[in-house]
Amino acid sequence: CPTYDPADGYEISGFVWFQGFNDLVDGGTYPTGPDGNRDYSSYSDLMAAFIRDVRKDLDAPKMPFVIGVLGVGGLEANDNTLAFRKAMAAPASLPEFKGNVAAIETAPFWSEELAAIDQKRGKVKQMAHLLRVKNKNTPNADGSMDAAAQKEYLKKFEADLISEKESAMWARGASNAGYHYLGCAKTFALMGQAFAEANLEMLKGE
pLDDT of the residue at 28:
87
| pTM for this prediction | 0.88
First to last CA, the chain: 28
Helices (H), the chain: 21-24, 41-57, 79-89, 112-132, 147-161, 164-173, 185-204
Q: Where residue 205 falls among pLDDT bands split at 50, 70, 90?
A: confident
Q: How far apart are CA 123 and CA 73, in angstroms?
A: 18
pLDDT per residue as tens digits for the range 79-95: 999 999 999 999 999 99
pLDDT per residue as tens digits for the range 100-148: 999 999 999 999 999 999 999 999 999 999 999 999 999 999 999 999 9
Average pLDDT, the chain: 95
Distance of CA 133 to the CA centre of its chain: 32
Average of per-residue pLDDT across 23-49: 91
Q: How far apart are CA 192 and CA 68, in angstroms?
A: 9
pLDDT of the residue at 36:
84
Q: How far apart are CA 80 and CA 189, in angstroms?
A: 26
Average of per-residue pLDDT across 159-171: 97
